Chain A
């Protein structure tokens, strides 16, 4: 990509006008990448707060055009797909409404795409911006194992190249800080609308599942750049045990919903199913119960929580497999069987 690229920042938002205001303020302070057209697309997923006004105000001070669109179908994936139809940039820079991008976020992304012709995505660190100082035990290495609920990423200070060979390594990007070629997202069909956060559920996985499809399309080529940094707001409520339990429960359900996608590489056709759940998940459930019971006797509260949430994760998997919307056999939710609907929504230019 030696010619001047163009970039669209895509932010989906739902009732977070206050945080979104800070996100847009930080974005307006980002260094402008040299000769690269930047635009910002905000997809308002049916917010009932002052989101619209916040976007209108931000448009007045933004160095780049801001476009605003309303997506009335509730769900992060619907909003993302709508944003995809509106975006005109070659690069799609995804971030969230509770994230502050660092000063060099945009220019660094563009530099990476310029330097590497072949890459499809660039992602980087998602560091915490604590609402209140976290309890010290949250910062221990043991706690980091169960940091999933906080949606943070720090894979170290060395850049890492991603390709099909490293796909199994699991250190996936997340949508709070991911820049991706628009063309490739379109080619694989956008985001799956049965995944992605809806209102108060914590169903997620839309980023993860997109990566799976990129991998399948032979387009899982990217770079983890430690200099591409954003800060993710961590509210006090997310540091409570109840949130962790809830998150892992939904994580289990997400995994079950995605099972057709994620277990494909495990030669899914030959995995035996018992009552619509892969047999190895039963084994996992039993092992995890055992680990949890063994921990229960000791006094290490954090370790106990770690085992507990993984057990909850398993239970969520069963819950979704048996009673979820996709009660048909896990295998039938095959990839691409339900391509996301991408419809064009009239957008209005705010500025």
Chain B
């Protein structure tokens, strides 16, 4: 079976109960694309192995089982990449159901857009419990859901829009060009807010390559009741803010989904760029406005959490030893900031 066009890599951790649903939807893919499924068991302690092997026996070569003892989604995915044979490597999660034409549409998207190296699609919710009224689309980030509408959108240096990893396919040579997933940024066990997908895409964009969102490939992800709790969302934004700080996202992409800019001439305070503090003020303002107009304060509270976690993590990376050093840092920041403003006025 060397004529595999697409390899689907599913990483799983202790979800033997829900995994069969995901795998059955993958086994039932239509459209004649030759594909293989690689299930990477990331050190599960439940019956995952038996479940996968049970399905593998019934479906021949199509399903393969691999075990990755190093804990972490990035390790598991990298193992999947190493085992894969297709020219396209698609990723999805262990709690989704793929539409019957999912792979066909992903492949078609890449075939039609010869200049992009990855493609992503919609991740729609399957609410296991009715969602609370506050949970609008603006709060989909923590649920790893994705729907950017019915038109394809290009992502790249001009528009650094990060696509979610539950529905994504890469051309295989991407990994030779920019490397595999980074374990230090990845999800470990049930940890949340991880950014391995984001990190991979940042590297792709930095290499001058681009991707595309297409509405056509669709997967449906289970949204479990625990993800409907506000506390989950709070924790996710804190975790994601910290991970983003580790990747120095804001230095590379100053505004959300905006263009990438070369990280130069950025004035920093305690390791975080000045405009991140400006965001803190902006979101605080928006939060007050929302509170006064009885609007969605939770959204802005989460943005504040995210920015604050970013600053915290930035500080952890380059901490200040003493209060006097902190004063010196602030003084340096002010002088630097004024100097930059003056220079901008001259220009």
Contacts and interface: CB of A to CB of B under 8 A. Distances in A.
Interface of A: 22-23, 25-26, 29, 57-58, 60-61, 100-103, 129, 231
A52 to B, nearest CB: 15
A61 B116 CA distance: 14
Interface in B26-62: none
A60 B208 CA distance: 9
Contact of B115 (A22, A57, A60, A61): A22
B114 interface: yes
B321 to A, nearest CB: 40
Given A29-B171, A29-B173, A61 B114 contact: no
B23 interface: no
A26 B114 contact: yes
Contacts of B173: 29
Given A29-B171, A29-B173, A57 B208 contact: yes
Contact of A23 (B115, B208, B209): B115
Interface string B79-116: 00000000100000000000000000000000011111
Contacts of A101: 114
B19 to A, nearest CB: 33
Contact of B114 (A29, A57, A60): A29
B316 interface: no
B209 A100 contact: no
A26 B209 CA distance: 10
16 contacts: A23-B115, A25-B116, A25-B208, A25-B209, A25-B210, A26-B114, A26-B115, A29-B114, A57-B208, A60-B208, A61-B177, A61-B209, A100-B113, A101-B114, A102-B114, A231-B112
A58 B208 contact: yes
Contacts of A60: 208
A97 to B, nearest CB: 13
Give the one of A22, A29, A231 with max B CB within 10 A: A29
B128 interface: no
Interface string B171-212: 101000100000000000000000000000000000111100
B117 interface: yes
B276 to A, nearest CB: 28
A220 B114 CA distance: 31
Contacts of B113: 100
A102 B156 CA distance: 20
Contacts, number: 31
B208 A29 contact: no
A129 B111 CA distance: 11
B301 to A, nearest CB: 40
B114 A103 contact: yes
B116 to A, nearest CB: 8
Contacts of B177: 61
B243 to A, nearest CB: 27
B114 A231 contact: yes
Interface string B146-177: 00000000000000000000000001010001
B144 to A, nearest CB: 28
Given A29-B173, A101-B114, 11 more contacts: A23-B115, A25-B115, A26-B114, A29-B114, A29-B115, A58-B208, A61-B207, A100-B113, A103-B114, A129-B112, A231-B112
Nearest to B177: A61
Contacts of A103: 87, 114
A256 B194 CA distance: 66
B115 A100 contact: yes
A349 B87 CA distance: 32
Contact of A61 (B87, B112, B171, B208): B208
Interface string B109-153: 000111111000000000000000000000000000000000000
A22 B208 CA distance: 10
Nearest to A61: B208
A242 B314 CA distance: 58
Nearest to A60: B208
A100 B173 CA distance: 18
B111 to A, nearest CB: 8
B169 to A, nearest CB: 14
B43 to A, nearest CB: 35
Going nearest first, the 7 A-B pairs with the smallest beta carbon separation are A22-B115, A100-B114, A25-B115, A26-B115, A26-B114, A61-B208, A100-B115
Contacts of B116: 25
A29 B117 contact: yes
A29 B177 CA distance: 10
B291 to A, nearest CB: 43
B153 to A, nearest CB: 15
Give the one of B87, B171, B207, B208 with max A CB within 10 A: B208
Nearest to A229: B114
A192 to B, nearest CB: 31
Contacts of A61: 177, 207-209
Interface in B201-226: 207-210
Nearest to B117: A29
Nearest to B173: A29
A33 B259 CA distance: 35
A25 B113 CA distance: 11
A128 to B, nearest CB: 11
Contacts of B112: 129, 231
Contacts of B115: 22-23, 25-26, 29, 100
B326 to A, nearest CB: 40
A231 B116 CA distance: 14
B114 to A, nearest CB: 4
Contacts of A100: 113-115
Nearest to B209: A25
A100 B171 CA distance: 16
Contacts of B87: 103
A101 B113 CA distance: 10
Contacts of B171: 29
A5 to B, nearest CB: 23
A67 B116 CA distance: 23
Contacts of A57: 208
B59 to A, nearest CB: 29
Contacts of A129: 112
B87 to A, nearest CB: 8
A102 B171 CA distance: 13
A129 B113 CA distance: 9
A100 B210 CA distance: 14
